[in-house]
Structure 1
C-alpha cells in the first residue's frame, strides 16, 4: 500500500510502528484459545492487581525518554531508595497510612540525591546513557547490599532482638514483613471493577468529544481513524460494564479496584501531561530532539537532563513503595533487581521506543505485558504439558521484546536516513516524486524548484 501526503492512513506503516503491541495482543488471544481453564473474571482480577501494582513504575520512564536519555534502566536506583525508606519506617514500627506517607516523604530526598548523581553521570556518558544506566543499577545494588548486610549492625548498631535484624545482630533479614503497611492504600477505598470501568470510559468519552469539538481545524484521515477507533473501544467497554452491572454476571466478581492507587496513577499521568506543556517540558522536548540546537537557544542542556533523571528516580521510588505495600513483604535483596528490566519491557510493549514515549503507551504496555505474564504458564501447560515452560517463556519474551524494540528503532532510523538522502527511496516509499528546492536569483523568471524523479 502506497502512503500519501497530509498524514493519510497507511496500513503497512501502522503495522510496522505497532509491531510489538500486536505481537502481545496475539499472544494473549492465543492463551485464551489454547487454554480453556482460564475464566475471564480470573484473568481480569489478576490483570487489575498487576496493573495497579506496576503502572506507577512504568510511568516513571516517560520523562527521561522525552528528554533524550533513552530507556532509563537506572530506575533501580529509585526502587532502592524506596526500599531504604520502607526499612527505616518498619524499624521504628510505624504503620498504616501514616507510615506509608512517611515512606514517600523519606524516599523523595534520597531518590532526588541519587537521581542527581545519576544525572551527572549520564552527562559524562552522553550518547551511551542506556548502557550507563545498566551499570548504575548494578553498582547501586552493590552499595545497597553493603549497607544492609554490613553497615547495619557493624557501623550502625541495632539490637539483635529486632524482628528485622538477623539473629547475629549484623544485617537485615532476607524477608521483612510489611506489617500494617500492607494494603495501606487499598484499605482506603475499593471500587467494584465494572463500576470503575464505566466511570473511566464515560470520562474518557466526554474528554475526547469535548477536545474534538473545540478543535476548529479538520482532522487528517489518519487522525480521524484513530479518533473513531478510540470512541468505539470506550463505547463498547462502557456498554459491557453497564450490562454487567445490570445483570450481575461473572464480571462483577472481578477483584475490586484500589481507588487511592488509581488516583495516584492518574495524578502522575496528569502531571506528566501538564509538565510537557510548561517551559520545562518544552526544554525536555528540545533537548531530546537536538541537544546542540537546544544549547544554542539558551537551554541549559545538562541541567535539564539532570532534572529529568531526578524526576524519574523520585517517581520510581514512590512506585516501588506502592508495589511493595501491595505485595505485603519486602524481599530485601531481590525486590529491586528486575524492576528496571520489566518496566522498560512494559513501556516498549506499549509502542514506545528509545526516543519516543507517551503516557498512553506506558499504560497500554503495562496492560499487555502483564497479560503475557498471566497467560504464559497456561500456554506452556496447554502446548507442552508443563506450566514451568511458560515461566521460561516469560524471561525469553522480556529480553526478546527489548532486543526487538531496539532493533526496530535502529532499522527505522536507518530507513529515515535513507529517505532523507535518497530521493528515489523517498519516491518509492511515498508513491510520489520528491521535490528539491533550488534557490534562484530575485530577478529570475524561472521556476523556484526543479522536479526530480
Structure 2
C-alpha cells in the first residue's frame, strides 16, 4: 500500500489520469466507428514527428537551465535550413540531410548567444527564454519578407519576393523518413519504420552522451552547481554546451516534422510548437530538474495520443470539436503542475 502511494506521489495524479483517459479513448473508438488501425498509425506518425523536439528539452533540464521555453530559436534555425535546402534545389535524402546541415551553423551561433544570455540570468532562465524565443519569432517575421530567396515554389507569386506563409516540400523531401522501410498493413495502417528509427537513433545518441564524461559533468552541474564547481567543472561551459545541443535538436526536430507534415510553416507558426514539447516531457514524468529518455518517449506517446484520439472519439460522442480545448488544458495544465511542484519542494 505504501509503495502504491509512493508511486502515485512520484508519478503524479495528472499523468495517471491522462494515461487512463487515453486507454479509455482507445477502448471507446470501435464503439463510435473510429478505426483503431488508422488511429494507431496516426499516433505513431505524430510521435515520430514531435519526439526530437521533446528530446531537445533534455540537455537543458539536465544542466539545470530548466525547461527550454526558448526552443523557438532551434525551430527557426531548422526553418532556415529547410528553406535554404529548397532554395538550393536539394531533393530526396540529400535535401533532408542538407537541410539539417544548413541549419546546424544557425543553431550553433544562436545557441551560443542564447547560452551567454542565460548564463547571466541564472535562476530566471525559463522566463527569459520565453521572451527571447517569441521575440526572435517576431524578428524573423520581418526577415522572411526581406531575405533574398527566389525559388518560385517559395516566394509570393505576385511580387516575386518574400516567402510564403506555407511552403510545400512535395517534390523535394516529402516523407523521406516515413516511407523508408514503411510497413503497410491493409488500407489504413502504416508503420513509419524510417521515422521511428531516426528518432530512436537520436534518443540513443543522447543516452550515450549523458553517460559520457561531458554528459556526466553536465548532469552534476544541474544537480549541484556548487559541488560541481568545487570539483573543477566549468559550470558556464557545461550550461553552454547543453543549450547549444538543445537548440540543434530543436532544428533537427522541426525538419523531421516538416518532412512528415509536408509543409514548412513560417512567420508566427513556430509560436505554438514550444508548449506541446514542454508539456509532453512533463507528462512523461520529467521535472524541471531531471529528465530521461523514458520521459521523452512516454510523454510524447501520451501527449500525441491524446491529441490524436480526442478529435475522433470525443468529437463523435459530443458532436463538437473539443480537440483544441483539450490541447490547451493538457499543455498549460502540465506546465502549471510542474511549476507548483517546484515551489512546494523549495519550501
TM-score normalised by structure 1 residue count:
0.71
Q: 1:78–1:111: 8 Å Cα contact kept in structure 2?
A: yes
Distance in 1 (CA, whole Å) between partners of 2:316 and 2:259 is 34
In structure 2, relative to structure 1, the CA distance for the partners of 1:383 and 1:261 (3 Å cut) is closer
Whether the aligned pair in 2 keeps the contact of 1:348 and 1:405 (CA below 8 Å) is: yes
1:195-225 deviation per Cα after TM superposition (whole angstroms, max 9, x unaligned) = xxxxxxxxxxxxxxxxxxxxxxxxxxxxxxx
**Structure 2 match to 1:173:** 164
Offset of residue 102 of structure 1: 0.8
Contact 2:44 2:192 in 1 (8 A): no
- Give secondary structure in 1 for the equivalent of 2:264: strand
The residue number in structure 1 matching 2:104 is 108
1:400 aligns with 2:333: yes
1:327-369 Cα distance to aligned partner (Å, 9 max, x none): 1111222442222111010001101110111001100000000
Give the structure 2 partner of residue 68 of structure 1.
64
- Distance in 2, Cα, partners of 1:144 & 1:395: 25
1:27 correspondence with 2:21: yes
Q: Deviations over 1:93-151 (max 9, x none)?
A: 221111111111111111011111111111011001111111111111022111102x2
CA RMSD, 1 decimal: 2.0
Q: Which digits, 9 at most, give the CA deviation of each residue in 1:357-401, with x for residues without a partner?
A: 100110000000011101222454355331x23332221221112
Q: Which runs of 5+ in 1 are unaligned?
A: 3-9, 193-250, 415-453
Change (3 A) 1:389 1:62: same
- Give secondary structure in 1 for the equivalent of 2:167: strand
**Partners of 1:137 and 1:272 in 2: how far apart?**
23
Partner of 1:91: 87
SS in 2 for 1:189: coil
Q: How does 1:304-323 map to 2 (within 5 A)?
A: 304-323=238-257
Q: How many Å apart are 1:252 and its aligned residue?
A: 6.4
Whether the 8 Å contact between 1:41 and 1:253 is mirrored in structure 2 is no
Aligned-pair CA distance for 1:276: 1.8
**Counterparts in 2 of 1:344-359, with a 5 A limit?**
344-359=278-293
Task: Determine if the alignment matches structure 1 residue 286 to structure 2 residue 220.
Answer: yes
Partner of 1:146 in structure 2? 142
| Bigger CA radius of gyration | 1
* Structural mapping, 1:16-55, within 5 Å: 16-19=9-12, 20-32=14-26, 35=29, 36=31, 37-55=33-51
| CA displacement at 1:257 relative to structure 2 | 2.7
- Judged with a 3 Å threshold, the aligned counterparts in structure 2 of structure 1 residues 137 and 32 are, in CA distance, closer, same or farther, namely same
* Alpha-carbon distance in 1 for matches of 2:39, 2:153: 36
- The answer for unaligned runs of 5 or more in structure 2 is none
8 Å CA contact 2:180–2:195 kept in 1: the answer is no
Name the stretch that deviates more: 106-115 or 397-406: 397-406
Q: Distance in 2 between matches of 1:189 and 1:29?
A: 29
CA contact (8 A) 1:104 1:321 kept: yes
Aligned residues: 342
Alpha carbons of structure 1 residues 144 and 15: separation in structure 2 relative to 1, 3 Å = same
Taking the aligned partners of 2:213 and 2:129, their CA distance within structure 1 comes to: 26
Supply the distance in 2 between the matched residues of 1:334 and 1:258 (Cα, whole angstroms). Answer: 29
Indicate conservation of the 8 Å contact 1:165/1:171, yes or no: yes
Kept in 1, the 8 Å contact 2:116–2:240? The answer is yes
Which residue in 1 is equivalent to 2:233?
299
- Aligned partner of residue 119 in structure 2, secondary structure: helix
1 CA distance for matches of 2:272 and 2:56?
15
